[in-house]
Chain A
Amino acid sequence: MLCLGIEGTAHSIGIGIVKDLKNKCQVISNLIKTYHPKQGGIHPREAANHHANHIADLIKQSVKKANIDFSEIDLISFSKGPGLGPCLRTAATAARALSLSLKKPIIGVNHCVAHLEIGRGTVERCEDPVLLYTSGANTQIIAFAEGRYRVFGETLDIGIGNCLDKFGRGIGLEFPSGPKIEELALKGSKYLQLPYSIKGMDIAFSGLLTAAEQYHKKGEKIEDICYSIQETTFAALTEVTERAMAHTEKNQVLLGGGVAANKRLREMVEIMAKERDASFFVPDKLLCIDNGAMIAWLGVLMYESGIRMNVENSFIDQRFRTDMVDVTWRE
């Protein structure tokens, strides 16, 4: 089965085409176009306009790159949520148009679950992982339990990426700030104490953000602040992930989301996994960030397990929570 997936929850519009290969996912094409605000953070309507401007071309390019004909596509999948309303609607509208014109079924999928399934689908031996999903908006620790993907820990206020971006914006870095902060952190060496906020398996960042901004006002070296932010937030993320692994008695950990590109975060989680004799997995970078291939792949899993949708009920859901999805494709 060939599926075309459309991702459009936030700042990126992505078109991916995947093929089902004996329960593993073969990515045939995966193109992403990202909106960069001229100033400030993501403006939902401007992001949606950006997506609308690029989506048709991106679909054509993706099909061309896959070296297939439109008629060969069996299924259209789109990101139903969670995300920014205008962006979700743009992606869903494109999906409906494609579904109607190609006369192929449509299916809407949960973006967070897609991050986990693409890991299981493309990474060898990754079968039943605890996912540490870190992006701009999302920070969740997700694992399969009692028939669903359940959120064992999550941020109580803002996502880790959002925390990094907000700090970056305050000191004049461009969006997204994570990569630049990672670079600056490499040159830092003095640890400045920051709030380490864990509540059970949940985590909070807003207090830390304020404290980091205070250090900046006081004139501390920016490299040291970046170093301290990374060390503190990533240690806390790694700790709650480890707690979730102990709690769920699972011995695989998977990274996903844009912040998973950070080498220091990868290193910490990898060390944690090694010390508890667990396996550590991270998908290819293009499959970690928001992308269409993961949406396509989850569409395949759902469709093949018998789930059906039609254009009339292909709604979006801005607050589509991970644990609302009935996981029919897993035992």
Chain B
Amino acid sequence: MPNRILLVEDDVALGQQVVETLSQAGFDPHWLRDGDSAREVDPDGYRLIILDLMLPGTYGMDLLKRYRLKSEVPVLILSARDDTSDKIRGLKLGADDYVTKPFFPEELLARIQACLRRPNLVETRNLAVGAIQIDLERREARTPTGALSLTPVEFEILALLARRKGAAVTRDAIVDAVLDPANEGSRRTLDVHISRLRSKLGDAAAQLETVWGIGYRLADTS
């Protein structure tokens, strides 16, 4: 179950390709080729369902409605039609996302990962990003080499990036959230803080990436 993904797709060539992609990515795909057999499955037996809309037998949208009646499993629509109403209807019926054909295998995997990430609303006390551990309550950060001696601003920057681990955060967003614009709040000041933070992170400094044109990111190397 942890990595079991249901694929409902009638096209043999595409289905085989997707199954191969999912398998290579470490998922356990279960492929059904028509809507009628997909009606009978228990959606809760899967981590995610990839659903084509134009299916023989039961229409994909009807399957989606059926699944949503009894399950909250993430559903990703594969849409061959470039029609807004289909996508909107799918999303309104409870689909989590859609991918328009043609698509690259990596694009599909990225959307699957995005679906599996959500929701990420649980506020935790401790954050772990790669080698960096952060205790938000105690306001402590540590790496395998030991606790870090951070200034309040450096801790806030690290915590902000850790909360959105793997995502690029703009300089402006960090400045607005962490620095006091009246005092030290400027982009250049931020760069100085980042530079100091990197030196304190030691071996984990590589995780604190500069993202061209955007700002910074705390990469999850785990």
Decide whether A and B assemble into one complex.
no
Q: Which residues of A contact B (CB under 8 A)?
A: none
